[in-house]
Structure 1
Amino acid sequence: MKYIHLSLLSSVLLPAPSLAQTIDPAADPETSNTSIVVTGNRATDPMPLDRIGGSVTVLDEQILDRRQVREVSDVLRDVPGVAVGRVPGQTQLRLRGAEANHTLVLVDGIEVSDPYAGEFDFGTLIADEASRIEVLRGQQSAIYGSDAIGGVIQYITLDGRDAPGAVARIEAGSFGMVNGAARIAGYSGDLDYALSATLNTTDGTPGARNGTRDLANDSGAVSLKTTFAPSTNARLTGVLRYARTNAEFNDSDSDPGSPTFGFQVDSPGNRFENEAIYVLIRGELDLLDDRWTQAFSAQIADTRRDGFASTGRSYGSEGQRLKGSYDTTLRIEAGGLTHRVTAALDVERERFRNTDPTGFAFTGRRQIDNVGLVGQYAIDLGDRASASASIRRDWNDQFADTTTYRLQASYRIAAATRVRGAVGSGVKNPSFYELYGFVDGRFIGNPDLRPEKSSGWEIGIDQSLFGERASIGVTYFESELDEEIFTSFPPPNFVASPGNRDTVSKRNGVEVFGEARFAEAWRVNGAYTYLRSHEDGAREVRRPSHTASLAVDWRAPKDAGGVTLVARYNGETIDSAFIDPSFVPVRVQLDDYFLLNVNADVRVMDNVELFGRVENLTAADYEDVFSFATPGRSFAIGARARF
C-alpha cells in the first residue's frame, strides 16, 4: 500500500490512527552447504540452498537465539535488500525498494497479510523459542501469485522432531518491558507436536517527536503445529495460530493554525486491537518410491482490527482469506541428471467488511475470487549446475487475467566459485482499502484501479575463501514497476485518492555479504546494500540508499556462554510530511542513524542459562517515519530453562 500519510491517516488506514549463496551471511557455518529451503520453489520437495539461482537468505535458530531476537523485524535489518520502517500499528518491510504490500508473508505456510490492508504488521510477530526465517528477494509471482511481486518472507516454527523438549524464557527490562516465551515439543511414534506461546508487554516510550505520552503495547501469540505420519509415504500436518495485539497510538495534529500541524502529537485515549486466527491443514502423499510427491492444503486467515479514541470505538475492519492448493512434483533421474516437473493449483477467496461505526463508510461485505495455475520445470546437472523455469496464469473475477514467469540458474565454475542469476515478472492486485476504503474528508478509494506489474533481473557471484572459513558474495539487481498505485490530492478539496501512474518506477542496486570464522570461538557476518529507487522521476520515500549490518559473535569453550555485538546502519532517507494546510505532502529528509546492540549469555547449569542485552547502546535519536519517535537505550535481563 502506498501510504497517503501515515502520521495523518494511521488511525483510519490501519490499526494505529537464503541469498542462494554457498555460505549465507546469516546461515549456520556448520550447515550452510547443505541447508534446504522450503520457500524457494513450488516443488513439493525442499531445495538445497546452493542450487537456487535467485537471492535467498536463511536466518536459523542459532542466529535468532544469539542475537536475542524478540521482534522479528529487528533481525530482518541484517538481511541484504531489506529496509524496516517501525511505527505503532504498522511496522513495514520493503524488499529492494518495493512497497511494503509487495512482500508475501507466510507463517508456517499460511498467508498472514491482512486482506483489508493488503500487508502484514511485523510489529506483531514476536520470535518463538525454536524458529527460522527464509527471505526470498525478487519477483516471485510465478510461484506464489499476487503479493509476491517484491519477494517472500516465511517465518517457520520448528516441529517436534527437529527441536524436541521443553523450554521457557522470561525477561524484564527498560520501559516496563516483560517478555516471555514457552514451548513444549516432541514426538511419539507416528505423531509429532510443538506447542508454543509468546508474550511481549511494555509500558512504552513517547511515540511523538517532543511528546511525553508513553505508548504501551501488549502482543502475544499461541501456536500449535502437529504432524501425523501413519506410513513412510503419507503425512498430515495441522497448524493453528492465534495472535493478538493491544497497543496505544497517537494522531497527527490536524489544526492548520497549530505550530505542530502535521506532526505526531500526544493523543490520550487512542489505542487499537488486532486479532487474528490462522489455520492450515496439509496432506502429503509420496508414490513411485518417493519420485512422485503431491500435497493438498487448505488454509484460513481471519483478521479483525478495531481502533478506539477517548470517546469510544472509532474505526474497524474484518478480513478473511480462504485458500485451497494442490501441488504435485514428478522427479526423474537419468544419465546423471535430475528432472523435476511440478504443477500446482491455487483457489483463493478474499473477503472484506468495513466495520467503521461512524456511518460514513459502506459496511457491506465484498469479496474477490482468484484461480492460479502453476507449471514449473527444474533440472540438476550433477553438483555443478541447476536451473528452473516457472510460469503462472491467474484468473481473477475483479481484474484482468495475468501471466507471470520466473527463470533462475546456478553454475559452479570452480569448487569455491558460483555464479547465479534470475529473471522474472510479478503482479500485485490493489488492496480492498485502495479499492473501496472511505474516510470522510480524508480518503476515497478507487474501484477502477488496475494491478501493478513488475519485471526484473539479477546476477550474482559467491566466492568461498580459506577452505570455506570465509566467503563473500555480490548481487546486482534491476526492476521496473508499471501501473504503480500512488495517492493524489486533486483540487479543490484535496481529498486523497489512489490512482495508477502512467510512468515507470525504476529500482536497481547492489547487495554484498561477507562471512568469516576464526577457530571455534569467533564468527563475523556482514551485509551491505546500495539501493537506487525512483518513482515518477523522483526518489521514493522510506528507502535508504545505504544500509549495512555487522555481527560479531564470540563463544566460550564448550558453549558455556558468549557475547554477540550487532551494529546496524540505516542511511539518510526522505519521507512525506503533511505539514502544509493544503494536505499536499512536503518532502522532508530523515537523518541516517547507527544502532549498536550487545548481547551476552552464560550457562549456570546444564539446563539453565542467564542472559542480558543492551539495545541502542549509543542512545541514537532517529526516526524511520517523519515525526514518529523511536526508543532510546534499553536494558534487559532474563533466564531460560530447558527440560
Structure 2
Amino acid sequence: MFKTGFVSLIAIAAATPAFAQPDPEPAAAPADDQIVVTASRSGEGIPIDQLAASVTVIDAEALEQRQTRIVSDVLRDVPGVSVSRVGAVGAQTQIRIRGSESNHVLVLIDGIEAADPYYGEYDFGTLIADPSARIEVLRGQQSSLYGSDAIGGVINYITLSGAEAPGLSARGEAGSFGTISSAARAAGTSGTFDYAVSGSWYHTDGTPTARGGTRDIGSDSVGASAKLNWKPSDTFRLTGVLRYSHTAADNNNSESNPASPNFGLIVDSPGVRFVNDGYYGLLAAELTAMDGRWINTLSGQFADTTRTGYTLSGVDYGDKGRRYKGSFTSSFRFDTASLTHRITGAVDVEREEFENTTPGTGSPFDPFRGRRSTDNVGLVAQYELTAGAFTGGASVRRDENNRFADTTTWRVQGGYRLPTDTRIHAAYGTGVKNPGYYELYGYSEDTYIGNPNLRPEQSEGWEAGVEQRFLDGNATIGATYFDSTLTDEIYTAYPAPNFVATPANRATESKQHGVELYASIRPSSQFRLDAAYTHLKARENGILEVRRPGDIASVNATVSSADQRLSGTLTVRYNGRIRDVAYTDRNYVPVDVSLKPFTLVNLNAQFRITDKVSIFGRVENLFDVDYEEVFGYATPGIAAYGGLRIGL
C-alpha cells in the first residue's frame, strides 16, 4: 500500500514514457569517446578505449535518465559490483567489487579519499546523488596507484564543473513512504573562474525493516558541494572542493535476549538511531609546461567523519575519524615517430587519526583510551605507452607505514585493437589493505575484542578480456575473466572458552574468479541500452563468501521521442542467490542462511512541458517483490514518486 496521496499523480506520470531534460540534449557520444581520470596518476584524462584496465563510466545522462537519487542504487548496474543495504534508505550500505570485501574498495569523491578512517571503509548509505555528476568504476587491484584499500578497485564519484555543465536547475519530488526530496545547482563561468555549487536533500518516513515489524525506519540525508576552478593562464589552474554530508537515520537492532523466540533476528527497536556527519575538502594547484606535456600538481585534502549511535537511554556508541593527505605528482609526456610515452611520479603523505567516543567503554588493551593515529608515505612510479593500436603500462608503489610492515605493490597491463575493431586486453597486479582501527582496538565487553597484532591483507590477481565495437563505435560488447587470490584475510573468530568475537588473519587463501559481460548501444539520441552480467565464485577458506551473489545482471533501456520531449526508461536488476550468516545460535556462533534470488523492475518517465520546465515520475519495485539482501532485514515494496524540474 502507498502511504501518500501524491501517488495518484505519480502513477499517472510514471505510466507515460519518460521525457527528456528541460533543454534538448545532443546525440549521446559513443561510449568509447569517454575520458577517464581515475586510471592514471598523471592528472591527464585518458580515452576509455585506450585503457587496458577494466573501467565503467556512468555519465550524467545515465544518472538523470535513471532518476538516480541514491548513488548506491545505480552502482548495481556496473559489472562486478554487488550492493548490500541493511533494509532502509540511509542505512549502512556496502559495495563489493569482484568478490572482494567492502573495505577493499577505495572510494574517491571529487578526488578526495572518502572512507571513514575509523571503520576503514566508506558507507554508501550516506551518499545521495548530486545534480550533474558522473561515476568512474575501475576494477581490479589498483594499490600500485592508490595504496591501501584498492584491492577490489576504485570508485570515483565526480561532480561536474561549471565549465562542463553550466546553468541553474532545481528539482522537487514526493512519493511513497512519506518521501520528499529536492536538489538545486548553480554553475557557470566568469572570466578565469568557473564554479559549481549544489545541494540535495532526501527525507523518507521509511518502512519496517524487521520481519513482521511495525516501526518505520526513516532517514534524512543532506549533501552540499562546491567546486571552484581558477585558471588565470593556460599553464596554471587552482582547484578547490568543499563537501558536507549529513545522515540521520533510524535503525533496528537484533534481539539479544536468549530467552526470546526471536533471538538473533531484527526486531523493532524504538529510539535506536544514528547520526553521521562528514566534512571533506581539497585544494590543488596544477602547473603545466612544455606545451602541456609536463604536468605538476600539488594538492592537500582532508576528510573528517563523526558517527554517533543512540538508544532511548541516550548515546550508545560513537567514533571520530580524520584523514589529512598531501600529494605531489609530476607527469611528463613525450612522443616519437609512432609512440607516445608518459612517465609519472607521485608522493603521498597521509595521516589518519581515530577516536572512540563510546561512553564508558574502551579496550583494556589500549592505553591511549581510543585515540590513535597512523602515518603513511607512498611513492608511486607509473609508465604508460601508446603505440598505434597498442596501449599498455606498468606501475609500482612503495608504502612506508609507522604501524604496519612496509609494502610494495605493482601492476602491468596491455591492450591491442585489431583491424576488425576488436580489442583484447589483460592485466596482472597486487593489492594491500591495512587493518582498520576498529579491527585493531575496538572493544565491547563480552561481544567483541580487537586484535592489535593483525597484519595487512594481501591480494594478487589477473584479468583478460575482449571487446568488440560496431555501428561506427556507437555500440560495444565485451567480456572479461578475472582471477584473484587473497592472503592474510581478516576474519572474525570465536575462540573458546568464552566465544567472544575477535578478528584474526587466516593462514589459508581465499579465491575469487568470474566473468563480466557488458553491452552499450547508443545508435542515436532516441535510444540507449546498457546491460551488464557478472558470474562470480568467491570462496573464503573454501567456503562460499557471504553477501556476494553468484549471478548479478542489469538492463537499462531508454527510448525518447524524435523531438526529445518525451522519454521513458526501463530498469531491470537481478540478484542471484546469496549466502549470509545469522546469529540465531545462543552460543553466538554464526549460522549459514541462504537468501533467495530476486528481480526488481523500475519504470520512469519524463516530459518536457516547456524549454525550462519538465515533469517526471517513476515506479520502483514495480511488481512488489518481497526480498532480502541482508539476512533479517525486510525491504520496501512497490513505491511511486513524481515531481517537477526547472532548468535555466
TM-score by length of 2: 0.94
Shift of 1:520: 4.7
1:139-171, CA deviations, whole angstroms, 9 ceiling, x for partnerless residues?
000000001111000100000000011000100
1:117-136, CA deviations, whole angstroms, 9 ceiling, x for partnerless residues?
11111111111110000000
Query: How far apart are the structure 2 equivalents of 1:570 and 1:278?
Result: 33
Aligned to 2:449: 444
Matched, 1:538 2:529: no
Aligned to 1:417: 422
Q: 1:209 aligns with which of 208, 211, 226?
A: 211
Aligned to 1:260: 262
- The answer as to whether partners of 1:252 and 1:262 remain within 8 angstroms in 2 is yes
Aligned to 1:286: 288
Matched, 1:432 2:432: no
Aligned to 1:68: 67
Aligned amino acid, residue 172 of structure 2? I
Give the total of aligned pairs: 615
Shift of 1:29: 5.0
- The answer as to whether partners of 2:361 and 2:444 remain within 8 angstroms in 1 is no
1:484-504, CA deviations, whole angstroms, 9 ceiling, x for partnerless residues?
000001111110000000000
Secondary structure in structure 2 of the residue aligned to 1:264: coil
Q: 2:137 aligns with which of 135, 138, 151?
A: 135
Change (3 A) 1:434 1:359: closer
Aligned to 1:25: none
Aligned to 1:43: 42
1:518-538, CA deviations, whole angstroms, 9 ceiling, x for partnerless residues?
555232221110000000110
Aligned to 1:369: 375
More deviation, 453-462/507-516: 507-516
Aligned amino acid, residue 581 of structure 1? R
Shift of 1:33: 2.5
Query: How far apart are the structure 1 equivalents of 2:29 and 2:327?
Result: 35
Q: 2:467 aligns with which of 442, 462, 466?
A: 462
Query: How far apart are the structure 1 equivalents of 2:38 and 2:596?
Result: 35
- The answer as to whether partners of 2:251 and 2:274 remain within 8 angstroms in 1 is yes
Unaligned 5+ runs, structure 2: 1-26
- The answer as to whether partners of 1:360 and 1:440 remain within 8 angstroms in 2 is no
Aligned amino acid, residue 172 of structure 1? A
Shift of 1:581: 0.4
Aligned amino acid, residue 219 of structure 2? N
Aligned amino acid, residue 338 of structure 1? T
- The answer as to whether partners of 1:349 and 1:367 remain within 8 angstroms in 2 is yes
Matched, 1:481 2:483: no
- The answer as to whether partners of 2:149 and 2:434 remain within 8 angstroms in 1 is yes
Query: How far apart are the structure 1 equivalents of 2:509 and 2:294?
Result: 43
Matched, 1:302 2:304: yes
1:49-75, CA deviations, whole angstroms, 9 ceiling, x for partnerless residues?
111111000000000000000000001
Aligned to 1:406: 411
1:508-566, CA deviations, whole angstroms, 9 ceiling, x for partnerless residues?
00000123345552322211100000001100000100000011110011210200000
**Superposition pairs for residues 297-376 of structure 1, below 5 Å?**
297-361=299-363, 363-376=369-382
Aligned amino acid, residue 65 of structure 1? E
Query: How far apart are the structure 2 equivalents of 1:451 and 1:365?
Result: 20
Query: How far apart are the structure 1 equivalents of 2:341 and 2:527?
Result: 40
Secondary structure in structure 1 of the residue aligned to 2:74: helix
Shift of 1:465: 2.9
Aligned amino acid, residue 104 of structure 2? H
Aligned amino acid, residue 377 of structure 1? Y
1:432-469, CA deviations, whole angstroms, 9 ceiling, x for partnerless residues?
00000011111000000000000000000001234444
Shift of 1:591: 0.5
1:309-360, CA deviations, whole angstroms, 9 ceiling, x for partnerless residues?
0011111001100000001101111112111010000000000000011334
Q: 2:577 aligns with which of 567, 572, 578?
A: 572
Aligned to 2:603: 598
1:206-251, CA deviations, whole angstroms, 9 ceiling, x for partnerless residues?
0112211101100011111001111111000000001100010011
Change (3 A) 1:571 1:209: same
Q: 1:562 aligns with which of 559, 567, 584?
A: 567
Matched, 1:79 2:84: no
Query: How far apart are the structure 1 equivalents of 2:370 and 2:60?
Result: 44
Shift of 1:41: 1.3
- The answer as to whether partners of 1:37 and 1:46 remain within 8 angstroms in 2 is yes
Shift of 1:82: 0.4
Aligned to 1:19: none
Aligned to 2:112: 110
- The answer as to whether partners of 2:559 and 2:567 remain within 8 angstroms in 1 is yes
Query: How far apart are the structure 2 equivalents of 1:369 and 1:274?
Result: 25
**Superposition pairs for residues 70-219 of structure 1, below 5 Å?**
70-87=69-86, 89-219=91-221
Aligned to 1:23: none
1:83-103, CA deviations, whole angstroms, 9 ceiling, x for partnerless residues?
000115310010000000000
Secondary structure in structure 1 of the residue aligned to 2:609: strand
Secondary structure in structure 1 of the residue aligned to 2:162: coil
Aligned to 1:14: none
Aligned amino acid, residue 75 of structure 2? L
Change (3 A) 1:233 1:510: same
Query: How far apart are the structure 2 equivalents of 1:337 and 1:467?
Result: 25
Matched, 1:636 2:641: yes
Aligned amino acid, residue 348 of structure 1? E
1:174-206, CA deviations, whole angstroms, 9 ceiling, x for partnerless residues?
000001110000111111110000100000000
Query: How far apart are the structure 1 equivalents of 2:30 and 2:490?
Result: 42
Aligned amino acid, residue 384 of structure 2? A
Which protein has greater RCO, CA pairs closer than 8 Å, 6+ apart?
A: 2
Q: 1:236 aligns with which of 224, 235, 238?
A: 238
Aligned amino acid, residue 61 of structure 2? Q
| Aligned-CA RMSD value | 1.1
- The answer as to whether partners of 2:370 and 2:441 remain within 8 angstroms in 1 is no
Query: How far apart are the structure 2 equivalents of 1:188 and 1:163?
Result: 14
Query: How far apart are the structure 2 equivalents of 1:328 and 1:391?
Result: 15
Aligned amino acid, residue 74 of structure 1? D
Secondary structure in structure 1 of the residue aligned to 2:33: coil
Aligned to 2:3: none
More deviation, 49-58/458-467: 458-467
Aligned amino acid, residue 427 of structure 1? V
Query: How far apart are the structure 2 equivalents of 1:320 and 1:199?
Result: 25
Aligned amino acid, residue 418 of structure 2? I
Secondary structure in structure 2 of the residue aligned to 1:414: coil
Aligned amino acid, residue 413 of structure 1? L
Secondary structure in structure 1 of the residue aligned to 2:563: helix
Query: How far apart are the structure 1 equivalents of 2:243 and 2:527?
Result: 37
Secondary structure in structure 2 of the residue aligned to 1:558: coil
Secondary structure in structure 1 of the residue aligned to 2:418: strand
- The answer as to whether partners of 1:314 and 1:358 remain within 8 angstroms in 2 is no
Aligned amino acid, residue 628 of structure 1? Y
Aligned to 2:16: none
- The answer as to whether partners of 1:473 and 1:514 remain within 8 angstroms in 2 is yes
Secondary structure in structure 2 of the residue aligned to 1:63: helix
Aligned amino acid, residue 255 of structure 2? D
Matched, 1:225 2:227: yes
